[in-house]
Amino acid sequence: MEASVEPTPPQSDAARVVLHVADGIGHLRLNRPEKMNAFDIVQFTALADHINEIATRKDIRCLVLSGEGRAFSVGLDLQALDGPDRFPDLMPRTYGASNVFQHCAWGLHRLPMPVIAAAHGFAFGAGFQVMLGADIRVASPDLECAMMEIRWGIAPDMAGIALLRNIVRSDVAREITFTGRRIKADEAAALGLVTYVADDPVAKAMEIARAIAASSPDAVRAGKRLLNLEADAVTILMEESREQDALMASANHREAVAAGMEKRPPVFRD
């Protein structure tokens, strides 16, 4: 089990990342379009702060993540490396098991509700790793993504390896990491990096989110907990039984059964 999250981040500009919630769906938007949503320390911290807030909210049954402007995110703002707000030490674990940068991807992965990334334009480096933190990824036909760190003489360090190795085959993960090449949407779908390619990725992500939000939030969150388990089969089997015991005793399970018998839409409680 991971340590509890007790963040002590620097102050962030909340306008850099914008959250809107309606009908059980949260829409989190990277909001630095003039820089194609490139990440500096303020952008990283703003996203991490939002992730921590969202983790506590029962009214968000599904989260959609997108980027304003011409790209999901072109990755690291290289100019920030030479500015006054240089990146801090990577080693302190300020967000449970993660530092602030890793939390922007791993924190999405660990959120209790499903996360759907709607990516367009470019998802490079840091942006690619944030996209990988989502449970489901929808790409526009023009998307290009890449694990670009190798081009700058560094390695992926935002949980990219921890995420990528569970999304694609090991040899594919290695080739993507070692070459840093650009991957277009159709190939990304074929490799399993994205779930769907859609002309309007936000609209497709919202369609999926509505279907998720219409289901029992207890069951959805239990399913994500089970899918996120890093354990052997024996442990997972036992956890399945524990989750099911709790679900079958829940009010939302009773409502699902009653709605099915009465042939009406269920009304679930958060």
Q: What is the pLDDT of residue 78?
A: 82
Q: Which residue has the tokens 């039984």?
A: 241
| Domain extent listing, the chain | 14-213, 217-262
Q: What is the pLDDT of residue 56?
A: 97
Strands 62-67, 115-119: pairing kind = parallel
Residues 244-259 as b/e (b if ≥16 CB within 10 A, e otherwise) read eeebeebebbeebeee
155/149 Cα distance (integer angstroms): 5
- Domains 14-213 and 217-262 in one fold: no
96/114 Cα distance (integer angstroms): 20
Per-residue pLDDT of the chain (270 residues; tens, 9 = 90+): 233 333 334 445 669 999 999 999 999 999 999 999 999 999 999 999 999 999 999 999 999 999 999 999 999 998 776 655 566 678 888 888 999 999 999 999 999 999 999 999 999 999 999 999 999 999 999 999 999 999 989 999 999 999 999 999 999 999 999 999 999 999 999 999 999 999 999 999 999 999 999 999 999 999 999 999 999 999 999 999 999 999 999 999 999 999 999 999 999 999
The fold of the 217-262 domain, in CATH, is Lyase 2-enoyl-coa Hydratase; Chain  A, domain 2 (1.10.12)
- Residue pair 62/209 in contact (Cβ under 8 Å)? The answer is yes
User: Which pLDDT tens digit goes with each residue over 48-107?
Assistant: 999 999 999 999 999 999 999 999 999 999 877 665 556 667 888 888 899 999 999 999
Q: Which residue has the tokens 């080739």?
A: 175
Question: Two tokens at 162?
Answer: 């921890």
Whole-number Cα distances in Å, 222 to 40, 116, 212, 225, 248: 34, 17, 13, 5, 12
Amino acid symbol at 119: A
Query: Which CATH superfamily, name and number, covers 14-213?
Result: 2-enoyl-CoA Hydratase; Chain A, domain 1 (3.90.226.10)
Q: What is the pLDDT of residue 194?
A: 98
User: Which pLDDT tens digit goes with each residue over 126-142?
Assistant: 999 999 999 999 999 99
Q: What is the pLDDT of residue 91?
A: 84
Question: How much is the pTM?
Answer: 0.92
